[in-house]
Amino acid sequence: MNGPAQNQGPRATNCPAIAPLLPFYACDELNAAERGQVDAHLAQCAACGEQLKQERRLLEALDEMLQPADRLNPSDTLLAQCRSELAERLDDLASPPAPEHWQPFGWLRRLIALRPALGGALLVFFGVVLGAQVPSWVASLGRARTADPTVNVRATPRLTEDQLAQMSVAGINFVPSSDAAPGTVQVELRAEQPLIISGSVEDGDVRRVLTYVIENGHRFDAGVRLDCLDALKSHTTDADVRRALLGAARRDENPAVRLKALDALRDSAEQPAVRQALLDSLEHESNPGVRVEAVNLLVHSLRQLEEDSAPALAPVPASPRTTAPKSASLPTDPSVERVVRALEELTRKDPSRYVRLRSAAALRQIGPREVQ
C-alpha cells in the first residue's frame, strides 16, 4: 500500500507544472532543460504520459486533416509570398527613410487625382498657352543664336547693286506715323552679312531697298511686296517709286499686288504715264477686280484734270447754268479720248458683267461733260 502512495507524491507535486508543457513537448518546442524536466517526470507519472499520448494523437489527426489554406493554395506559394512581402516590409522599416525631394508640380498631380475634371481643364489651358507661345520663343532664340552677326543700321549706308542682287528680305515692319511725319520702316535683310535697315521712308537707302523689292517681285514673297507698297504709297511723287509702282501694276504675277499698286497710284492718276498704265490694265488685265479698280482710277483722274483746269477758266464769264467752258478742256487731251474709247470697249466686250456695268456707269459720269 505504501508503493502507490509514494508514486503519487511526486506527480501531485510536479503535474501542475509539467502539464502545460506537454503540448509544447509534443510539438518539440521546448529547450533542453525543460525537455529534461518533462522526461524525468514522465518516467514517474503514468497520467502525464497518457496526456502526452493524447496530445500526439491530436497532432496526428490535425496533420491528416486538409486545411482550407491547402485547398486554396496546395503548393504553399501564397504563404511563401506573404513571408517574402513581410520580410521586405521589415527591411524597409529597418532602413532609414529617404529624404523627400522637392516636386514643383506635385500639387498638380494631387489636383488631377482629387478633381479630374478641373485638372483636365488646367492641362488643356496650359497646352493652348504653350502651343501659342513656344513657336515664337523658339523663333526668337533661333534668331538670337544665328552664326552671322547682325548689323543694325540706322544711318543711310549705300548698298551696292551686288548686295541688292544677293539679298533676301526676311521681313518688313512698317509703322505709319499718327501725324504728317513719314512712318518708320524696319527692313530685315538676309545676305552674306545680315542687315537690319531702320529709318523713315524719306531715307534714300530704305526707299531704294523697297523699290528694288517691288521691281524684282519674282524673287520675293507676295506678302513682302504688299508691305513695300504700303510703305511707298505716300511717296508716289518720287520718280523711282512711281516707276516701280507702274511696273508692279503691269507685270506682277499676283493680282493682289497689282491691285495694291494701282491703289497706291491713286494720287498720281492724272499723270500721263499712270493713265497709260491704267489703260494697259483695261486692255491686258485678266483679273476683273483689277480692271474695276483701273476704271475707278481713270474716272478719278478725269475729275482731277477737271479740277486742275477750273481755275484757268474762272475769269471767263459764263451763265450759272452753263458748264461748257469748264468741260471743254477735257476733249483737248488725247488721253481723255483714249479713256472714253477704252470704257466704251469694256462696256461692249468685257467678259465680266460687273466690269461692263462699272464701265457704263463711268461713261455716264464723264459722258455729259463730253456732250456739252
pLDDT(370) > 60: no
> Which range marks the domain in which residue 331 is found?
269-314+321-372
pLDDT the model gives residue 48 = 92
Q: Give mean pLDDT, residues 177-189.
A: 66
Question: Are residues 243 and 293 both part of a single domain?
Answer: no
pLDDT the model gives residue 156 = 44
User: Picking from 125-139, 145-159, 196-210, which range would have the lowest pLDDT averaged per residue?
Assistant: 145-159
Phi first, then psi: what are they for 77, rounded to 5°?
A: -70, -35
d(CA 345, CA 360): 10
Question: Are residues 277 and 358 both part of a single domain?
Answer: yes
208 neighbors 195 (Cβ within 8 angstroms): no
Measuring CA to CA, how many Å separate 140 from each of 136, 137, 166, 193?
6, 5, 24, 19
Sign of the Cα pseudo-torsion (309, 310, 312, 316, in order): positive
User: Picking from 17-26, 29-38, 269-278, which range would have the lowest pLDDT averaged per residue?
Assistant: 269-278
Question: Are residues 365 and 282 both part of a single domain?
Answer: yes
User: Picking from 163-167, 249-253, 275-279, 367-371, which range would have the lowest pLDDT averaged per residue?
Assistant: 367-371
Q: Give mean pLDDT, residues 244-257.
A: 88
Question: Are residues 326 and 290 both part of a single domain?
Answer: yes
pLDDT(295) > 80: yes
pLDDT per residue over 154-180, tens digit each?
A: 444 566 667 666 666 666 766 666 555
User: Picking from 54-68, 104-118, 137-151, 182-196, which range would have the lowest pLDDT averaged per residue?
Assistant: 137-151
Most confidently modeled range among 16-25, 100-109, 352-361: 16-25
The reply to whether 232 falls in a domain is: yes
User: Picking from 23-27, 72-76, 85-89, which range would have the lowest pLDDT averaged per residue?
Assistant: 72-76
Q: How confident is the model at residue 143 (pLDDT cuts 50, 70, 90)?
A: low
pLDDT(145) > 70: no
Question: Are residues 215 and 274 both part of a single domain?
Answer: no
pTM across the whole model: 0.47
* Burial track 48-71 (b if 16+ CB lie within 10 A, e otherwise): beebbeeeeeeeeeeeeeeeeeee
Question: Are residues 223 and 295 both part of a single domain?
Answer: no
The reply to whether 304 falls in a domain is: yes
pLDDT per residue over 325-351, tens digit each?
A: 344 444 456 667 788 888 888 888 888
Question: Are residues 214 and 300 both part of a single domain?
Answer: no
Q: Which helix (H) or strand (E) holds 154?
A: none
The reply to whether 115 falls in a domain is: no
User: Picking from 51-60, 85-94, 171-180, which range would have the lowest pLDDT averaged per residue?
Assistant: 171-180
The reply to whether 305 falls in a domain is: yes
pLDDT(369) > 60: no
The reply to whether 227 falls in a domain is: yes
Question: Are residues 252 and 350 both part of a single domain?
Answer: no
pLDDT the model gives residue 332 = 54
- The share of the chain scoring above pLDDT 90, in percent, equals 6
| Total domains in the fold of the chain | 3
pLDDT the model gives residue 274 = 83
Q: Give mean pLDDT, residues 254-276.
A: 85
pLDDT(50) > 90: yes
The reply to whether 26 falls in a domain is: yes
The reply to whether 254 falls in a domain is: yes
183 neighbors 174 (Cβ within 8 angstroms): yes
The reply to whether 353 falls in a domain is: yes
Question: Are residues 253 and 362 both part of a single domain?
Answer: no
Q: Give mean pLDDT, residues 117-137.
A: 78
Residue 146: half-sphere exposure toward Cβ, Cα within 13 Å: 14
Q: Give mean pLDDT, residues 102-124.
A: 73
Which residue matches cell numbers 461748257?
Answer: 324
pLDDT(205) > 60: yes
Q: How confident is the model at residue 4 (pLDDT cuts 50, 70, 90)?
A: very low
pLDDT(72) > 50: yes
Question: Are residues 192 and 152 both part of a single domain?
Answer: yes
Question: Are residues 252 and 275 both part of a single domain?
Answer: no
Residues β-bridged to residue 199 = 185
Q: Give mean pLDDT, residues 65-87.
A: 71
Q: Give mean pLDDT, residues 101-116.
A: 70
Question: Are residues 223 and 279 both part of a single domain?
Answer: no
pLDDT the model gives residue 12 = 46
pLDDT the model gives residue 321 = 37
pLDDT the model gives residue 329 = 45
